[in-house]
Amino acid sequence: MERIEAAGGLVVTVVCDEPARVRAGLLRGVEVAHPVVVDIDRSTYRSWGLRRASRTSFVTRPGWIADYALAAVRTADRPRRPGHDVRQLGGDFVIAPSGRVALSRPQAGFDDRPPAGELVQALERAAREGSVL
Amino acid sequence: MELSSPAVGDPAPALALPLLDGSGSVRLEDLRERALILTFLRHAG
């Protein structure tokens, strides 16, 4: 985070689940210093071209049986949540001060994420280039 | 029709979403002049 702040940059995280679930699960016990925003109907995910995992990639993911069993137990006595989509993938982007995309990495699969260092380097480069990009 | 993700050099698509804590919202156009890492998390399952 120090390098991001030194470059005058900012991190924004987008989640697509109910705020209470995010706070109780993903962010449980975590102090997040940057903005976290919610796209519950995934309309912004769609407008950024983010994909859904194929059924094949879902069942070949390591640990999928345990995940599936856990999800089944958790949701056994509840109706399916609106907008719920376990196959929704994410992605990482770096946006230059000009408003143009400096790095574009939509996820191709569940574990497809760029290294943090790659994102920080792209942010530093974008910050240096300013509105020239 | 399925949209594709913006490529390097493309204008960033719009983004205006409420904050998780309910304290307001974030609009991408309000963050101009700063470089930004925008991370979309996959569904937590």
CA distance A59 to A87: 11
pTM, two decimal places: 0.82
Q: Which residues of B touch A126 (CB under 8 A)?
A: 35
- The pLDDT of residue A63 is 66
A48: closest chain B residue by CA: B5
- pLDDT averaged over 10-residue windows placed end to end, chain A, 133 residues: 87 91 83 91 93 70 63 54 73 95 92 92 90 52
Chain B interface with A: residues with Cβ < 8 Å: 2-15, 17-22, 25-26, 28-29, 31-45
Q: Look at the alpha carbons of A33, A113, B43, A50 in this order and tell me if their dihedral is positive or negative.
A: positive
Tell me, yes or no, if A8 comes closer than 8 A to chain B by beta carbon.
yes
Cα distance from B34 to chain A (closest Cα, Å)? 5
- The pLDDT of residue B3 is 79
CA distance A15 to A22: 8
- What ipTM does this complex have? 0.92
CA distance A9 to B33: 9
- The pLDDT of residue A76 is 53
For Cα atoms B23, B13, A88, give the angle at the middle one, nearest 5 degrees: 75
- The pLDDT of residue B45 is 59
- The pLDDT of residue A79 is 46
- pLDDT averaged over 10-residue windows placed end to end, chain B, 45 residues: 87 95 93 92 76
